[in-house]
Amino acid sequence: MEDRYSIIGKDVPRNDAVAKATGAAAYTDDMKLPGMLHGKLLRSPLPHARIRRIDTSRAERLPGVKCVITGEDTPKVKYGNWRLFPTTQDEYPLAVDKVRFIGDEVAAVAAVDVDTALEALELIRVEYEELPAVFDVDAALAKTAPALHEASPTNISIDRKISYGDVERGFSASDYVREDTFTVHAVSPGYMEPCSSLALCDLDGRITLWTSTQTPYIVQCLLASTLGMRENDIRVIKPFVGGGFGGKMELRPWEFCAAFMARRTGRPVKFTLTRQEELCYGRRRHPMKLWSKVGFKKDGTLVAKDLKILLDGGAYNAMGPTATFLCGNFGAMLYRYPNYRFLGEHVYTNKAPASAMRGFGAPQSLFAAETQMNMAAEELGIDPIELRIKNAMVTGDEIPGVATISSCGFIESLQEAAKMSGWKRKRKNFKAGRGIGVGCYSFISGGVFNWFNTQYPFSAAEVRAFADGTVHLLTMASDIGQGSDTVLKQILAEELGLGMEDIRITSADTAMTPQADLGTWGSRVTLMGGGAVQNAARKIKEELFGTVSARFDLNVIFEMECRNGRVYAKGKPERGMTFGEAVALAQKARRGEPLVARGYYTPRDKGLVTPAFSFGAQVAEVEVDRETGIVSVKKMWTAHDCGTVINPMAVEGQLEGSIHMGLGYALSEELQVENGRTMNNTFLDYKMFTAEDMPPGESVCIETYEPEGPMGAKEAGEGLASPTAPAVAEAVYHATGYRCKDLPITPEKILKGMKK
């Protein structure tokens, strides 16, 4: 790579590093506009109730209150999982007929300051008819359960299936069959910046919305739908975003209310949530109940797998229908299952809606799969890593009708993780209270979903080249802290032979950037956004190569290249000129027409789910205090295949963040919900790992080349959220004999399990 690339594969500081480190970065809640009003939401105190009457008159008379709205004031348009599953849209911006969870948005107030808005909320009177409520999937599926939505009388909002081979015959041919039940819990994305939105309505009635989002274009589309406006009469701008992890990828009620009330009052309106609101009512990772049955030959060869998952979706679908399918996809990944069957059912309950969160179905599905692999390895008498290598996917493998593996370094990842960690020695030299375990993952590089129909490409980019040697990149791709602006600039700089300082980037503004990117989710930006940037850059180069070739009277046998700020004949650098001179010459030849190119990326014939998959293996070493049950993670080793590494320091940062989130999921984080009410509503009670809790670690990137990715790259962060929990769970078992099948792993569970 050293010879081939100048910038790709190099450590490049993030584009926003200085602004964030110095406090100069402006987030949505930092913004203030003249005459701005402050909005607050009235939420339901009941988990399930019919709205009989809402009296807002006292709130409207309070001095300083400028606007009060309820669901009856709105166009009453449902929204939800956008265009992936339009039939599953089931949520109003403000409740119209019923409330379905504690915290469901009932009314909104806009006032001259926050205190006045909060006082006004207390003056609104709502008459409810309380209805029976259900708080888990078993209760929701009971014959006597109340229907939360009329369209789903069984409370199953959607089911998804994957099936190939003959599962029953596979089990009959198996020498060893095991069946296990797993449960996983709800956790919060825990982003540092609470959601915030600021809307302005101009004199022509057009809306500008600044909002903390991962998906500005999706918000634009859904906001237009719910307001009854044209898409391009709404402009959505993403300022700096303090993390999202999937929790900021949908239209949310405060975005609608800010826009609706700005139009009604003629004044800017801002809503900012509190941390309590985020933890109590915010989107969260799906709790699930998973049944998995697997069959093996005596030598460890996998024969069949049958997987059923119930997703506790909470009160609304949100992104749950997509997660339901992805659970089945991830259940079929990593290993070669000749026979596979999956049924996923998304179930309504009277709790805050679950939705997308880092991993999007993979952490839950892979916890079950990887734990079961570890259990099977023990009973078959095969080393857990050797069992995985025996069954590991390789390049060219397929999930029939779903996916094709175009690049895969899984076996190499397993081998490297074993080598780094001293796996064989530590597994054999067992010491009471000390253990080592392994977990693995595979993840998508952006969702394709062949049932998705749109008139736009999946990603687009615009590149403007200037005679001063600089370029301007415009992209709808959203940097929410993962560093995608930096990566896209690296790809562009490499293609055009420029420095990072030569590139200006404008991103995530629906009125300025190409209207085609679906946002930041499913680890799509590097591969899909990068593909669009590379496509645009190559169009610029084609123009410049033609111009420079003509200037030096070069024939077609000369290859051209852009490097070190110059455009020249390969091997003959004297036959060329600076990039800026080449742009000026091209514009002169085009009678002054600016040199602008648009690039696009839409995967074709790449399976049902994604054009590429990442892979990896992780080993955890833990020490368990056998008196208290407290787990101390001593070290983590990770080997992962993310294709060509664009920016090593960025990949390292993604890995560390994933381990942090994975450790919290495994050991400490859990939203405690009682009768629909979230009890731990501060960071004092919701226990995330801190920097001091993080263990040391070693990692290595197994470089493969992904044909579909820019420079051969694919995802390098979201997938790594999945292997940590099963690796830690296996290490705890190795240390104590307690096998966790119901996350999180708590000291109480360990002590109880050790007694058994």
Residue 609: what pLDDT? 87
Residues comprising the chain, all counted: 756
* Mean pLDDT of the region 196-224: 97
3-state secondary structure of 444: strand
CATH of domain 353-448+607-755: 3.30.365.10
Residue 449: what pLDDT? 66
Contact (Cβ atoms closer than 8 angstroms) between residue 438 and residue 416? no
Residues 6+ apart with CB under 8 A from 304: 165, 167, 170, 171, 173, 174, 293, 294, 295, 337, 338, 339, 340
Residue 544: what pLDDT? 96
- pLDDT-derived band of residue 518, with 50, 70 and 90 as boundaries? confident
* Mean pLDDT of the region 528-543: 97
Mean pLDDT of the chain: 95
Percent share of the chain, pLDDT over 90? 92
- Predicted TM-score (pTM) of the model is 0.96
Residue 747: what pLDDT? 97
Cα gap 343→107, rounded to integer Å: 38
Tokens (6 digits) for 311: 């997703």
Cα gap 23→399, rounded to integer Å: 47
Model confidence at 640: pLDDT above 90: yes
Q: Nearest-CA neighbor of 671 among 324, 264, 267, 312?
A: 312
- pLDDT-derived band of residue 717, with 50, 70 and 90 as boundaries? confident
54-73 pLDDT tens trace: 999 999 999 999 999 999 99
Model confidence at 569: pLDDT above 60: yes
Percent share of the chain, pLDDT over 70? 98
Q: Nearest-CA neighbor of 291 among 311, 302, 306?
A: 306
Q: Lowest-pLDDT range, 82-91, 194-203, 536-545, 584-593?
A: 82-91
- pLDDT-derived band of residue 82, with 50, 70 and 90 as boundaries? low
Cα gap 264→266, rounded to integer Å: 6
With b for 16 or more beta-carbon neighbours within 10 A and e for fewer, the 674-705 pattern comes to eebbbebbeeeebeebeeeeeeebebbbbbbe
216-260 pLDDT tens trace: 999 999 999 999 999 999 999 999 999 999 999 999 999 999 999
Q: Lowest-pLDDT range, 176-180, 382-386, 521-525?
A: 521-525
Cα-flanking dihedrals φ and ψ of residue 478, to 5°?
Answer: -110, 120
- pLDDT-derived band of residue 84, with 50, 70 and 90 as boundaries? low
Residues 6+ apart with CB under 8 A from 564: 6, 497
Domain ranges of the chain: 17-24+458-601, 31-131+192-243+248-281, 353-448+607-755
The CATH number of domain 17-24+458-601, selected from 3.30.365.10, 3.90.226.10, 3.90.1150.10, 3.10.20.30:
3.30.365.10
- pLDDT-derived band of residue 1, with 50, 70 and 90 as boundaries? very low
* Mean pLDDT of the region 493-504: 98
Q: Nearest-CA neighbor of 339 among 168, 590, 592, 483?
A: 168
How is domain 31-131+192-243+248-281 classified at the architecture level of CATH?
Answer: Alpha-Beta Complex (3.90)
585-623 pLDDT tens trace: 999 999 999 999 999 999 877 778 899 999 999 999 999
Residues 6+ apart with CB under 8 A from 462: 473, 474, 475, 513, 514, 536, 596, 597, 598, 599
Cα gap 258→260, rounded to integer Å: 6
For the beta sheet containing 288-296, the strands, ordered from the edge strand earlier in sequence to the opposite edge, are 156-164, 339-348, 302-314, 288-296, 176-184
Contact (Cβ atoms closer than 8 angstroms) between residue 72 and residue 310? no
Model confidence at 388: pLDDT above 50: yes
663-711 pLDDT tens trace: 999 999 999 999 999 999 999 999 999 999 999 999 999 989 999 999 9
- Higher-pLDDT residue of 558, 409: 409
Q: Nearest-CA neighbor of 33 among 145, 230, 179, 198?
A: 198
Going from the C-alpha of 150 to that of each of 82, 88, 153, the distances in angstroms are 20, 12, 6
Sign of CA dihedral 308, 314, 317, 319: negative
Tokens (6 digits) for 282: 């915010």
Domains 17-24+458-601 and 31-131+192-243+248-281 share a fold: no
